[in-house]
Structure 1
Amino acid sequence: MEWLASLSAVPQALVATLFTYGVTALGAGTVFFFKSINRKVLDAMLGFAGGVMIAASFWSLLAPSIELSESMGGIPWIPAVLGFLLGGLFLRVVDRLLPHLHIEYDRSEAEGIKTNWQRSILLVLAITLHNIPEGLAVGVGFGAVAAGIPSAGLAGAVALAIGIGLQNFPEGAAVSIPLRRDGLTRRKAFWYGQLSGIVEPFAGVAGAALVTVMHPILPYALAFAAGAMIYVVAEEVIPESRREGNEHIATLGLMLGFAVMMTLDVALG
């Protein structure tokens, strides 16, 4: 990890989010081996992804936000609350405006501004919506390390990237496999699946660069990323994982994902 420590926050965020993007592409690559995915398995993976995101929101983002705000002499809970709510509000606006279609939904159930875009594009945009806050979270996580927050060590930022990467694997598969089932070639299905994760390096670099240049906004940025991720979990991931009646499997997956992310953050951080 020494070579990573020698880099500044922005290159660190780039490397980390290229890793999370790579895991998305790896998940999308399952389309070369499978044409369908068992719904129970998918719901368990979605639950796992939700658990990772919930744990990361607190251990890697909200807790450092509160600690940093306190060390800066402010009222600790104000940046955490404001940033958290603004993150959710931002995703709400994007959710209303960005055309997207969730897994297994009919074309007529697309959300956002009405459009005639192909189903494949709408599926990619749905997962892209998930990946924006994930990339941002990794970026501001490395920005927190550069700021010298005691609870935000390099190992903790790496743990966050690993956790986000783990839950990106099913997201890549969740795009490519349904597209293959819809009749796209394996190569095209893989292309669209990996494309859903390409936004993460951009969001990660932007987040790290912003908090590096504007250090006072870091507590708000950390909480903003947490709020955006919790919005995605509550609005999209959990409802989707329970849509086909596999509530118990999805819940167990969520608890496992939370436990894994908590272990990574506490053990490595």
Structure 2
Amino acid sequence: MYSWFVSLHPALQALLAGLFTWAVTALGAAAVFWTGQVNRKLLDSMLGFSGGVMLAASYWSLLAPAIQISERGPLPAWFPPLVGFLLGGAALWSLDKLLPHLHLGFPLEEAEGPKTSLRRAVLLVIAITLHNIPEGLAIGVAFGGVIAGSQATSLSAAVALAIGIGLQNFPEGIAVAMPLRGEGMSRWKSFWYGQLSAAVEPVAAIIGAAAVVAAAPILPYALSFAAGAMVYVVVEELIPESHRQGNVDLATVSLMIGFAVMMVLDVALS
């Protein structure tokens, strides 16, 4: 099966990887068909795990290759990763301010961004969609590095990144669908909104891969941009949400486990 994947064009590999991460989100959202609620401690542990995976991926799969590539360039090795990392965080911060959205677990009155009359379900999906964009970009850039022939990136490392992001997408699907079901929305609508939040990932993956292929010199900037955007999501959304109900120790331990799992995946498959 893996040999079949290897034989595909890298752009198609990026698309399939994005579809995989979307499918795992949909699988998590499908939990509404079997239960109407999820244990809060379990959810907080999964959110912590997701944060750990994203933090590890930000370094092992994105920043480390960006630094390695930059060492062969004309600029100081720290400059492209620094610029890309800060721009990634700034881009997510700007989207947070420009688009109306509502973070998980917050009342409607605490919606962020411009004032709007959009329904709670739509605002929740916008929030999760915003935070799935850097995940899709990270996948696309990783596969784009393979297309560009960078020695600092490899197909196995890109696959490891897609697997890691897929693992942490499962609780995201649950975290969107379950609250909607708890508010009285039908199971099908709850599932629909849950999976919809990750539909942007295949699109972002293609955009990331295309950008790197079109302009190979931007690869270290693109890798670190995705890293900065993912770190912003972890600190601004996942960690606060996992601590919101007081399960701080559980969420922290889960974050450590998630970090370790992603680190092992990246090192073992690289």
**TM-score normalised to structure 2 length:** 0.97
2:141 maps to which residue?
140
The residue that corresponds to 1:75 in the other structure is: 76
- Specify the code of the residue in structure 1 equivalent to 2:201: E
Superposition deviation, residue 230 in structure 1: 0.3
2:28 is matched with 27
CA distance in 2, matches of 1:143, 1:117: 36
Q: Which position in structure 2 is the counterpart of 1:166?
A: 167
Task: Compute the displacement of 1:259 (Å).
Answer: 0.5
Partner of 2:237: 236
Moved more, 149-158 or 162-171: 149-158
Contact 1:84–1:225 (Cα < 8 Å) also in 2: yes
1:113 Cα deviation after fit:
1.2
1:103 deviates by 1.6
Question: Which has the higher mean CA deviation after the structures are superposed, 137-146 or 4-13?
Answer: 4-13
Match of 1:58 in 2: 59
Query: What percentage of residue pairs aligned between the two structures are identical?
Result: 62
Work out the number of aligned pairs and report it. 269
User: 2: CA distance between counterparts of 1:186 and 1:263?
Assistant: 36
Please tell me whether the aligned partners of residues 105 and 241 of structure 2 are also in contact (alpha carbons under 8 angstroms).
no
AA matched with 1:105: F
Question: Which residue in 2 is equivalent to 1:263?
Answer: 264
What is the deviation of 1:149? 2.8
The match for 1:209 is: 210
CA RMSD of aligned residues (A): 1.0
Deviations 1:96-129 (A, max 9, x none): 1111111221111111111110111011111111
After superposition, where does 1:29-48 map in structure 2 within 5 Å? 29-48=30-49
The structural deviation recorded for 1:63 is 0.6
- Give the CA deviation at 1:223: 0.3
Aligned to 2:89: 88
Measure the CA separation in 2 of the matches of 1:261 and 1:150: 21
CA distance, structure 2, for counterparts of residue 213 and residue 89 of structure 1: 24
The DSSP-based 3-state class of the residue aligned with 1:75 is coil
- What corresponds to 2:151 in structure 1? 150
Please report how far the alpha carbon of residue 2 of structure 1 lies from its aligned counterpart in structure 2 after TM superposition.
2.2
What is the letter of the counterpart of residue 178 of structure 1? P
Query: Contact conserved, 2:85 with 2:228, CA < 8 A, in 1?
Result: yes
Counterpart AA for 2:91: F
Output the amino acid matched with 1:209.
A
Give the Cα separation in 1 of the matches to 2:162 and 2:28: 16
**2:237 counterpart SS class:** helix
Q: What SS does structure 2 have at the residue aligned with 1:71?
A: coil
Q: Which amino acid in 2 is paired with 1:88?
A: G
Q: Describe the SS at the equivalent of 1:184.
A: coil
Letter in 2 for 1:94: L
In 1, distance between residues paired with 2:177 and 2:240? 21
- Mapped to 1, the partners of 2:256 and 2:167 lie a distance apart of 15
TM-score by length of 1: 0.98
> Does 2:181 match 1:180?
yes
Q: Which amino acid aligns with 1:59?
A: W
Q: Deviations over 1:208-261 (max 9, x none)?
A: 001101111111000000000000111111111111111000001100100010
Gap regions ≥5 residues in structure 1: none
Give the CA deviation at 1:3: 2.3
Counterpart CA distance in 1 for 2:87 and 2:109 is 30
**TM-aligned CA deviation for residue 73 of structure 1:** 4.0
- Report the Cα distance in structure 1 between the residues aligned to 2:146 and 2:85, rounded to whole angstroms: 20
Cα distance in 1, alignment partners of residues 73 and 111 from structure 2: 44
What is the aligned partner in structure 2 of residue 112 from structure 1?
113
**Structure 1 contact 9–209 (Cα < 8 Å) conserved:** no
Q: Does 1:192 align with 2:193?
A: yes
Please tell me the residue identity of whatever aligns with 1:162: I
The DSSP-based 3-state class of the residue aligned with 1:157 is helix
What amino acid is aligned across from residue 254 of structure 2 in structure 1?
G
Paired amino acid for 2:148 = A
Displacement of 1:151 in angstroms is 3.5
